[in-house]
Amino acid sequence: MAEFTLPKNSKIQKGKFIDVSEGAKTARSFKIYRYDPESGENPRWDTYKIDLSKCGPMVLDALLYIKNSVDSTLTLRRSCREGICGSCAMNIGDGRGTNTLACTKAINDFKGEITVSPLPHMPVVKDLVPDLNHVYAQYTAIEPWLKTDTPAPNRERLQTEEDATILNGADGNGPAACILCFCCSTSCPSYWWNADRFLGPAILLQAYRWIADSRDEATGERLDQLEDPFRLYRCHTIMNCTNTCPKGLNPAKAIAEIKKLMVARR
């Protein structure tokens, strides 16, 4: 019988408990995944109990308070702190976690201790920072720029309002609004197991963004690139991607649209 053993560093250990909430009217504990692959030590859960009056209302505010005032070794990514850059994506929950943006997720959306860990099924650079090299290589592979053969007009390539709405969405939630946070791809079971060959919902949504662009002249070539049992067809419409997108986008629908175009051109 086959015997599977988890790698040594997959066993998460209990870490330290730091309580800096003395005198707080409202205190909250944050249980945070800590891992430094270069240390040779196993990952651990460190818990910080903090006074919520010392930080802003979002989970990112609490993490930055911990980093700036309690434990400067905590490592995380963030930039815009308003849901635009996608860099603070992580898994957050008070039970079963969900992939979301720490900067737009309110602490009060949770009850009790809040667990924070990096986006699942990605290698970890350190603590809450996933290694995005592979997803960005996949992004590069779909050639995410306007491809044209016809000569460029004097000013710009125009588009009807109707065509622009396909990209932007009627409520601003079209594929062009994707911030590449990868919450969707890292919640997709097909992507967990086939990330080497399946492009995953974030990249397929981006692929659709260029396929659907009325100004792009490489639609056939783009569809040829996706016509593959793994790159596109590993999506089994499980819908985790759409359910988790913190921007309210619908990558599963974008994938379905690509599949429809594949059928239509046969």
With CB under 6 A as the contact rule, the residue among 135, 202, 207, 212 that binds ligand SF4 is 202
- Cβ–Cβ < 8 Å for 210, 179: no
Name the residue with tokens 């988890």: 6
Give contact residues for ligand FES (rule: CB under 6 A). 78-81, 83-88, 101, 103
- Helix ranges (DSSP H) in the chain: 59-65, 133-141, 161-168, 189-194, 200-211, 219-226, 240-244, 251-264
Report the residue from 114, 240, 257, 258 that binds ligand SF4 according to the rule CB under 6 A. 240
Distance CA 248, CA 87 (A): 17
Pair type for strands 44-51 and 13-20:
parallel
Beta carbons within 8 Å of 143's beta carbon, 6+ residues apart: 210, 218, 222
Binding segment (CB under 6 A) for ligand SF4, from list 71-79, 108-116, 186-194, 207-215: 186-194
Output 115 or 242, the one with its CB closest to ligand SF4: 242
Residue 236's binding partner among ligand SF4, ligand FES, none (Cβ under 5 to 8 angstroms by kind) is ligand SF4
Q: 243 touches which of ligand FES, ligand SF4, none (CB within 5 to 8 A by kind)? A: none
Tell me which of ligand FES, ligand SF4, none is bound by residue 78, counting a contact when its beta carbon lies within the kind-specific cut-off of 5 to 8 angstroms. ligand FES
d(CA 106, CA 56): 9
Cβ-based nearer residue to ligand FES, 80 or 137: 80
The verdict on 236 binding ligand SF4 (CB under 6 A) reads: yes
Beta strand extents in 74-233 (DSSP E only): 89-93, 98-101, 114-117, 124-126, 129-130
Q: Burial level of 12, CB count in 10 A (0-12/13-18/19+)?
A: middle
* Nearest distance from C-beta of residue 34 to ligand FES, angstroms: 20
Residue 92 touches which of ligand SF4, ligand FES, none (CB < 5 to 8 A by kind)?
Answer: none
Q: How far apart are CA 116 and CA 210, in angstroms?
A: 34
Six token digits for residue 160: 């009807």
Choose between 120 and 220: whose C-beta lies nearer to ligand SF4. 120
Amino acid at 169: G
Residue 190 touches which member of ligand FES, ligand SF4, none, C-beta under 5-8 Å by kind: ligand SF4
What is the C-alpha to C-alpha distance for residues 8 and 125, in angstroms, rounded to an integer? 17
Of 88 and 116, CB closest to ligand FES: 88
Element holding 32 (H helix, E strand): strand 27-34
Asked if 245 is part of the footprint of ligand SF4 (rule: CB under 6 A), the reply reads yes
- Our CB check for ligand SF4 shows the closer of 17 and 230 to be 230
**144 to 183: interface string for ligand SF4, x by CB under 6 A:** ----------------------------------xxxxxx
- Nearest CB to ligand SF4, comparing residues 55 and 202: 202
Q: In the numeric block, which tokens belong to residue 5?
A: 């053993």
For binding to ligand SF4 (CB under 6 A), which residues are involved?
178-184, 188, 190-191, 201-202, 205, 235-241, 245, 247, 249, 251-252, 255
